[in-house]
Structure 1
Amino acid sequence: MTHGSIPASAPRLPHVDALRGFALLGICLVNAPVIAGTWSLTEGAGAAPWDRTAVWLVTALVTTKFYLLFAFLFGHSFVFQEAGARRDGVPFARRHARRLLGLFLLGLAHALLLYAGDILMTYAVLGLVLFAVRRADPRALLGVAVALVVLLTVMLVVIGLVASGTEGAGQVSAHALKEMQARQSAWYRSDVGGAVHANIAAYRQAFAGALLYGPHLLAAMLTGLAAARLGWLDPARSTPPSAAGGRLLRLGLLIGLPGGVVTAMCSHGSLDARYFYLGQAVDILTAPALSAAYATVLLSLLRGRFGPRLAGALAPAGRMSLSNYLFQSAALAFVFTGYGLARYGTLGPAALACGCVALWASQLAFSASWLAHVRYGPMETVLRRVTGGRRRTVGGRGGESA
C-alpha cells in the first residue's frame, strides 16, 4: 500500500483482528463497573484494599487507552471498507451510510436496554466525518488529530482550574453522585422496566460525556485512517519498524504510564474531586502514548515464535468484535440488573475484574468455535444485511471490518 492509496482488494489482516480481540478485554474492564455499580463500593474508609487497588489500576492502565485503540482500528478499517465496496461494484457512499445507520440503531438499542455508555452511536456520527475527509492527505489528518487532542486538553485544564479553585465544588458533586447512585441501584435491582428507566436516566449524563470526549475519539479515528493510507500496519512491512516500535514503547513508559498514575490519583487517589478534570486533561494528553505502547508490544509478540498461536487465540474474537462487545453488556446486564440476577452494587471491583477476564477468555473460545463454522458473527451478519454486503461462503475472502 503506497502513500494515499486504496488497496484493490481487502483481505483480513490477522494482526489487526488480534489487536481488536485484545482490546475487548480493556473495554470489558472499563464498562463492567458501570453496569455492575461497583465504583461506589470503594468509597469510604471501609473499602477493601484489594478493591481500591483494582479501581486504581483499571483507571491508570486501562481507562481511555482501550477505547482509543478501538477508535484507531475503526478509522483504519475505513480504507478497507471503501476497497470492499469498489471490489463489489457498489457505491461506497450508499453502503457506508447504511452501515452507519445500522451502527446507530444497534447503539441506540444497546444504550436503552443494556448500557447507557454505548459507543456505537458516537462511532456512527463520527463515521460521517471520516467519509468527509477520506481524500485528505494522511499527514494533514495526523495534524488535525494532534490539534484535537491539544485543544481538548486545554479545555479540560481550564475547567479543572476553575473547579480546583471553587471551595465545596467536590463535596457538592460527591453528594449529587451518591443520590444518583442510590436511585440507580433501586431501579437496576427492580425489574426490566426499572433497568431500562435507569439506562435512560444515565444516558443523559453519558450523552454529555460523548460530546465532551468525542474529539478524542475522532483524533484516534483520523490517526487510524492515516495509518491505513500510509501502510503502517501493512503486513508486507515490519509491523511496526523496530526503531519506531522502540520509540513508541519509550513514549508509553515515560509519558503514558506516568499520565495514567496522575489520572488515577486525581480520580481515586490522594487528590479530591476538585482535581478530577485536571486528571482528565492529563489522561487525554498522555493516554495515546500508552495505547500505542500496548499495540506495539502485542504486534511484536505476534511477530515472534508464538505469534501464530497468539493470533489464532485473539483474531477470531476481533473478527466478531461487534457481537462480543454487545454480548459483554448483555451478560453483565443479566448478572447485575433486573434482566436476571439483579446483583447491582454487590460485587467489588477486584472480583468483577477477575470476572471480566473470565468472560473475555470465554469469548475468545466461543469466537474461534463459531467462526470455524460460520463466516461472520451474529451481529456482524445483521450489519452486513443492513449495509447490503454480499454473502460469502466459508473459505472466501472477506474485507476487514470494524
Structure 2
Amino acid sequence: MDAVPAASASPPVPSAPGAPAASAAGRAVTAGPLPARERSLVPDLARGLALLGIALANSPSHISGREVGPGGKPVDGSTADRVVDVLVGVFVDNRAFPMFTLLLAYGLVVIARRQEAAGAPWPTARAVLLRRCAWLAAFGAAHLLLLFEGDILLPYGVLGLVLVLLVLRARDRVLVVAGSASLLVYAAFATLDGVAGALPDAEDQGPGAALLSETTVLGAFLQRVVGLASYLVLSPVVVLSFLAPAAIGILLARRRVLERPGEHLPLLRRIVLLGFPVSVLGSLPLVLASAGAWDAGVPGAVLAAGLHGLTGLAGAVAFVALVGWVVAARSARGLDAPPRAAVRAVAAVGERSLTCYLLQSVVMVPLLAPWALGLGAGAGTARVAAVAVATYLLTLAVAVLLARAGRPGPAEQLLRRLTYGPAASRADPPADQQPGQPAERQGRVRSAAT
C-alpha cells in the first residue's frame, strides 16, 4: 500500500458543517473537523475502552506511603489487591497506552486523507496536522505542570510532530523497519518502568528533600517541574519508544482497517487469535512477581518487565482488532440498527477522549494526591482501582450528556478552534443518525479522526 500521497490543489468547494473550508483568497482549501454523524464506530469505541485502561494503569501512581515491588504494586497488598494486580497486569499494564498510541497515529493518517480529499496540497495538510500536534503537546505540558506528572498528551503531541514531519508519508517498508528497530527502545522503557519498584531506594535527606516533598502543594509542583524538564531532555528517546505502535497504527489506517472492518475480517481474526495468547502468556512472569508468587530478584524482574512490555504491544493490537471484529461481525449478521446504549456511551467517551482523559486527572488527583485530600496514602491497588473505575463512569456520563446535546467535549472544542479556526469550534448539530451505522447506509466515507 502506497504512502499517503501529496494532494494537488483543487477549486474551492462550498462550506458545510465539517466540509472543506477555503481561505479568503480561495486558494488554500482545508477540511474542518469531522461532524459526529460521519464518525466511524470502531476507533471511537476502541479509544473509549482504552481510556478505562489508562485510568486503571495510572491508578497505582496515586498510592503513597507503601513499599512497592516489580510492576510498581505494593508488596504487602490484600487479597483484593492481588486480584486487581493480576487482572490489571494481564490485561491493562503495557497494553492500554500502546493501544492509545496506535489510535493516535491512525487518526493522523485519517486527518491527512481528509485534507487530501478536500483538495489541500500536502504543505497545507501538514500545517493543519502540525498545529494540532503542537497544541496537543501544549495541553500536555499544562496538564503535567498543573496536575499529573504521568501525563501522556505531551509525549503524544511531540510524537505526532515527528510522525507528520518524518514518518507519515514514508513507504510501508520504511515503517516496518523503523518500527521493528524501535522495539529495543520500547522494551527498555517497559523494563525501567516495570523494575522501578524492585530497585533499592536512594534515601535523600538533603536540604532539597523537604522542598520537593509530595505532601505539599509547592513540593509536588516542583516535582512536576523537574518531571517536565526531564521529559524535554529525554523526549527523542521517549518518542522513539512509541514508534512501533505508531507505525502499526499508520499501516492499519492506510488500509482503512478500522473504518471498514468488514473488509478485513480475516486479518482481524488472525490478530486477535495470535495477539491475545502472546500477550497473556508474556504478562505472567511480571504479574506473578508483582503478586508475590515469584521472588524474581532484580535480574528476573528485568527480564520479566521487558517481556511484559513487548508482548503488551501484541495485546494492544489484539484489543483494537477485537473491537473491529465484533463490530464487523454484528454488521455481517444484518444488525444495521444503531448500536446499543452502552456501546454508544463508550464511543461517546472515545469521541471526547481528550476531555475525558483530562477529567480523569481533575477528579483523581485531588482525591488521592498527598498534597490534596490524600486518600491514596496507604491505599491498596483495589481502592485506587475502584476510584479509577468510578472516575471513568463519571466521564462516561459527561460524554453521554454532551453527545445528546450534539456537542464536542470542551477540550476538543478548544483544540478544534486552535487547529482549524473559530468557525470549527461550534457545536455539531445533533446527528439524525447515531455514529456506528455502516458507511454504506449513510452514503459517505466515514473517518476515525478526533
Deviation at 1:213, TM superposition (A): 4.8
Deviation at 1:209, TM superposition (A): 7.5
**Residue 43 and residue 119 in structure 1: after superposition, are their counterparts in 2 closer, same or farther (change >3 A)?**
closer
Q: Report the TM-score, using the length of structure 2 for normalisation.
A: 0.74
Deviation at 1:178, TM superposition (A): 9.7
- Which of 70, 78, 84 is equivalent to 1:48? 78
Deviation at 1:156, TM superposition (A): 7.4
In the other structure, the counterpart of 1:294 is 319
Q: Look up the SS of the partner of 1:347 in the other structure.
A: coil
In the other structure, the counterpart of 2:129 is 96
Deviation at 1:264, TM superposition (A): 2.3
Deviation at 1:257, TM superposition (A): 0.7
CA displacement 1:314-363 (0-9 Å, x = unmatched): 11100110111111011111102367423232321112212212221221
Deviation at 1:312, TM superposition (A): 0.8
Identity of aligned pairs, percent?
A: 26
For the 8 Å contact 1:148–1:215, the answer to whether it is kept is yes
Deviation at 1:199, TM superposition (A): 2.5
Q: Which amino acid aligns with 1:136?
A: A
In the other structure, the counterpart of 2:159 is 126
* Distance in 1, Cα, partners of 2:186 & 2:409: 36
Q: Which amino acid aligns with 2:348?
A: P
- Which of 174, 192, 217 is equivalent to 2:200? 174
Q: Look up the SS of the partner of 1:127 in the other structure.
A: helix
Pairs within 5 Å for 1:313-328: 313-328=345-360
- The answer to whether residue 133 in structure 2 is matched with residue 109 in structure 1 is no
Deviation at 1:250, TM superposition (A): 2.7
**Residue 231 and residue 89 in structure 1: after superposition, are their counterparts in 2 closer, same or farther (change >3 A)?**
closer
**Residue 290 and residue 52 in structure 1: after superposition, are their counterparts in 2 closer, same or farther (change >3 A)?**
same
Q: Which amino acid aligns with 1:238?
A: G
For the 8 Å contact 1:252–1:293, the answer to whether it is kept is yes
Deviation at 1:70, TM superposition (A): 0.6
**Residue 302 and residue 287 in structure 1: after superposition, are their counterparts in 2 closer, same or farther (change >3 A)?**
same
For the 8 Å contact 1:233–1:239, the answer to whether it is kept is no
- Which of 236, 246, 249 is equivalent to 2:272? 249
* Distance in 2, Cα, partners of 1:38 & 1:17: 37
**Residue 147 and residue 307 in structure 1: after superposition, are their counterparts in 2 closer, same or farther (change >3 A)?**
farther
CA displacement 1:26-80 (0-9 Å, x = unmatched): 0001112213438637545x53222133224322321111111111111101122
* Distance in 1, Cα, partners of 2:302 & 2:52: 26
More displaced stretch, 260-269 vs 33-42: 33-42
For the 8 Å contact 2:364–2:388, the answer to whether it is kept is no
Deviation at 1:290, TM superposition (A): 1.3
Residue segments in structure 2 that go unaligned for 5+ positions in a row: 8-19, 21-30, 432-443
- The answer to whether residue 371 in structure 2 is matched with residue 308 in structure 1 is no
* Distance in 2, Cα, partners of 1:84 & 1:39: 49
Deviation at 1:216, TM superposition (A): 3.4
- Which of 122, 145, 152 is equivalent to 2:179? 145
More helix per residue: 1 or 2?
1
In the other structure, the counterpart of 1:238 is 262
**Residue 104 and residue 201 in structure 1: after superposition, are their counterparts in 2 closer, same or farther (change >3 A)?**
same
Q: Look up the SS of the partner of 2:220 in the other structure.
A: helix
For the 8 Å contact 1:18–1:315, the answer to whether it is kept is yes
Deviation at 1:221, TM superposition (A): 1.1
Q: Look up the SS of the partner of 1:174 in the other structure.
A: coil
- The answer to whether residue 367 in structure 2 is matched with residue 367 in structure 1 is no
* Distance in 2, Cα, partners of 1:38 & 1:293: 36
Q: Look up the SS of the partner of 1:81 in the other structure.
A: helix
In the other structure, the counterpart of 2:449 is 401
| Higher RCO, 1 vs 2 (CA within 8 Å, ≥6 residues apart) | 1
In the other structure, the counterpart of 2:254 is 229
CA displacement 1:183-237 (0-9 Å, x = unmatched): 69993433x33331232345566668866553331211121111111222232x5
Q: Which amino acid aligns with 2:415?
A: L
* Distance in 1, Cα, partners of 2:290 & 2:234: 16
- The answer to whether residue 235 in structure 2 is matched with residue 189 in structure 1 is no
- Which of 105, 110, 122 is equivalent to 1:80? 110
Residue segments in structure 1 that go unaligned for 5+ positions in a row: none
CA RMSD of aligned residues (A): 3.6
More displaced stretch, 212-221 vs 15-24: 212-221
**Residue 69 and residue 89 in structure 1: after superposition, are their counterparts in 2 closer, same or farther (change >3 A)?**
same
- The answer to whether residue 45 in structure 2 is matched with residue 18 in structure 1 is yes
* Distance in 1, Cα, partners of 2:210 & 2:97: 25
Q: Report the TM-score, using the length of structure 1 for normalisation.
A: 0.82
